[in-house]
Structures are given as structure tokens and as C-alpha cells.
Amino acid sequence: DAGITQSPRYKITETGRQVTLMCHQTWSHSYMFWYRQDLGHGLRLIYYSAAADITDKGEVPDGYVVSRSKTENFPLTLESATRSQTSVYFCASRAPGANEKLFFGSGTQLSVL
């Protein structure tokens, strides 16, 4: 199906474990983004990518790693999960150009115990 999909939808893990959240889009959008959404903070950018093999830090990158070997995939890895990383994570993508909309995945609700 066309669109942007995230997996898993829900994840519970323990502190110190490595966790990878997946994001896949079928439009070949060049821009992809990872956000976290927390009460009181709204949406905050973790990492973004302008194209395959081009990634850069956002506002809150500490503790996260991304890669983008293929245009359609943009996984986010928590190398050693901490309780402060309990959040809802959204992946998004858009085509280049000033008039392009942003499309969001359904989100991953992550709990770190």
C-alpha cells in the first residue's frame, strides 16, 4: 500500500536495551524526519534526512542514531534506552519544494521501563 508506515505501533522495553523503530515510505520522498511528542513539549525534531546517505541532527538527537541507506527507509535506533526516551515517535516525509505537504506515519508509542 502506498503511504508511510511505522513499526512497531507499540513497544515496551527496558532501560539499557537497544531499540530500533522502523519507518518506510512508498513515495520516494527525499526528505524524512523523526519527531518525538511529549506532553508539555509538543513535537520535537530528533533527526532528519534530505536524501539517502544524508542525515543531520535536529533539536533532541542525544541517545539516538539514524541511517538512510535507501530512500524509502529511515530507521531510528535508541542505542541504550533510557526512561526519558519514553514517548510517542512520529516519522514523516515530504517531497522537495516549498509547496509540498508533510505526511506522517501513525506513530510508535514507546515505553522504557
Partner 1 sequence: KNEVEQSPQNLTAQEGEFITINCSYSVGISALHWLQQHPGGGIVSLFMLSSGKKKHGRLIATINIQEKHSSLHITASHPRDSAVYICAVMGGTSYGKLTFGQGTILTVHP
Which residues are near partner 1 by CB under 8 A?
31, 33, 42-45, 48, 50, 56, 58, 90, 92, 94, 96, 98-107
Smallest distance, partner 1 to C-beta of residue 89, A: 12
Smallest distance, partner 1 to C-beta of residue 58, A: 7
Report DSSP letters for the chain, one per residue. Answer: --SEEEE-SEEEE-TT--EEEEEEESS--SEEEEEEEETTTEEEEEEEEEETTEEEE-S--TTEEE--SSTTB--EEESS--GGG-EEEEEEEE-SSTTPPPEE---EEEEE-
Q: Which residue, 53 or 79, has its beta carbon nearer to partner 1?
A: 53
Q: Which residue, 59 or 79, has its beta carbon nearer to partner 1?
A: 59
Q: Which residue, 8 or 96, has its beta carbon nearer to partner 1?
A: 96
Smallest distance, partner 1 to C-beta of residue 111, A: 15
Smallest distance, partner 1 to C-beta of residue 31, A: 5
Residue with grid cell 535508541, as numbered in its chain: 78
